[in-house]
Structure 1
Amino acid sequence: MSKPVKSILILVAVVAVGYLLYSKIFAGEDAAPAASGRGGGGPMVQRVAVDVFVVSPSAYQNKITTTGTVLPNEEVELRSEIAGRVTSINFKEGTRVQKGQLLVTVNDAELRAQLQKLESNQKLYRDMEERQRTLLKKEYISAQEYDQVSNQLATATADIQALKATLAKAYIRAPFDGVIGLRQVSEGSYVSATTPITRIVDISPVKIDFAIPGRYSQQVKAGDKITFTVEGNPKVYDASVYAVQPGIDPTTRTLQVRALFDNKNEEVKPGAFVSVALSLQNSDDAILIPTESIIPEATGHKIYLAKNGKAVPQMVKIGQRSETLIQIVEGVAPGDTIIRSGIMQLRDGSNLNIRKVQKADEPETTAQQPAAKE
Structure 2
Amino acid sequence: MAIMLAAVGLAFAAVFGFEAFRARTVQKSIAGLRNPPQAVSAITAGTQQWRDRLEAVGSTRAGKGVDLSPQVSGIVKAIHFQSGENVEQGTLLVELEDADDVAHLHALEAMAELAQLNYDRDARLLKSQSVSQQKADAGLATLKNDQAQVAQQQALVGYKSIRTPFSGRLGIRQVDVGQYIAPGTPIVTLQQLDPIFVDFYLPQQDLAKIKVGQPVIAKVDTYPDLTFTGEIMAINPLVNVATRNVQVRATFNNSDEKLLPGMFATVDVDVGTQKDYVTLPKTAIYYNAYGDIAYLVENAGGDKSGQEQKVARQVFVKTGQTRGDQVAVLDGIKPGDVVVTAGQNKLHNGSPVRINNEVTTPFSANPQVSEQ
- The bucket for the TM-score relative to the shorter chain is 0.5 to 0.7
Measure how far apart 1:235 and its partner are: 1.0
**Paired position in structure 2 for 1:261:** 252
- State the partner residue of 1:129: 119
Q: Deviations over 1:84-110 (max 9, x none)?
A: 111111111100011111111111111
Which whole-Å deviations, capped at 9, do the CAs of 1:27-68 have from their partners, x for residues lacking one?
A: xxxxxxxxxxxxxxxxxxxxxxxxxxxxxxx97611111211
1:176 CA displacement: 0.7
Which residue, out of 92, 108, 121, partners 1:118? 108
Residue 284 of structure 1 and its aligned partner are, at CA, apart by 5.4
Map residues 221-370 of structure 1 onto 2, 5 A cutoff.
Answer: 221-233=211-223, 234-282=225-273, 321=321
2:211 match: secondary structure: coil
Runs of 5+ consecutive residues of structure 1 not aligned to the other structure: 1-57, 287-291, 293-319, 327-339, 341-357, 365-374
* Separation in structure 2 between the aligned mates of residue 271 and residue 194 of structure 1, nearest angstrom: 22
- Whole-angstrom distance in 2 between the partners of 1:256 and 1:133: 63
Out of 195, 202, 219, the residue aligned to residue 192 of structure 2 is 202
Alignment of 1:55-134 (within 5 A): 61-134=51-124
Q: Runs of at least 4 residues of structure 1 off by over 4 A?
A: 283-286, 320-326, 358-364
Query: Deviation per CA, 1:113-168, whole angstroms, max 9, x where unpaired?
Result: 11100111111111111111111110111111111111111110111111111111
TM-score (normalised: structure 1): 0.61
Give the number of the structure whose alpha-carbon radius of gyration is greater.
Answer: 1
How far 1:324 moved relative to its partner? 5.7
Match of 1:33 in 2: none
Residue 149, structure 1, aligned to residue 139, structure 2: yes
SS in 2 for 1:80: coil
CA distance in 1, matches of 2:100, 2:222: 53
The Cα of 1:194 is off from its aligned counterpart by 3.2
Q: Structure 1 residue 232: deviation in Å? A: 3.8
Counterpart amino acid of residue 111 in structure 2: N
Note closer, same or farther for the CA distance 1:270–1:359 as it changes in structure 2 (3 Å cut): closer
Counterpart amino acid of 2:242? T
Q: Displacement, 1:79?
A: 0.8
**Partner residue of 1:212 out of 193, 202, 206:** 202
- Supply the distance in 2 between the matched residues of 1:74 and 1:109 (Cα, whole angstroms): 33
TM-score w.r.t. length of structure 2: 0.61
Q: 1:187 aligns with which of 147, 165, 177?
A: 177
2:328 and 2:49 map into 1 onto residues whose CA distance is: 15
The 3-state SS of whatever aligns with 1:121 is helix
CA distance in 2, matches of 1:325, 1:214: 27
- SS of 2:256's partner is coil
Q: How far apart, in 2, do the equivalents of 1:60 and 1:229 lie?
A: 19
Q: In 2, Cα distance between the equivalents of 1:154 and 1:206? A: 47
Superposed CA deviations along residues 274-332 of structure 1, whole A, max 9, x for unmatched, are 1211011216599xxxxx9xxxxxxxxxxxxxxxxxxxxxxxxxxx8555657xxxxxx
Return the letter of the residue paired with 1:185: V
Q: Which runs of 5+ in 2 are unaligned?
A: 1-47, 278-286, 288-319, 339-372
| Structure 2 residue 159 is matched with structure 1 residue 169 | yes
Identity of aligned residues (%): 27
**Are the structure 2 counterparts of residues 165 and 106 from structure 1 closer, same or farther at C-alpha, using a change threshold of 3 Å?**
same
CA-CA distance at 1:227 after TM superposition: 1.0
Deviation for aligned residue 1:179: 0.5
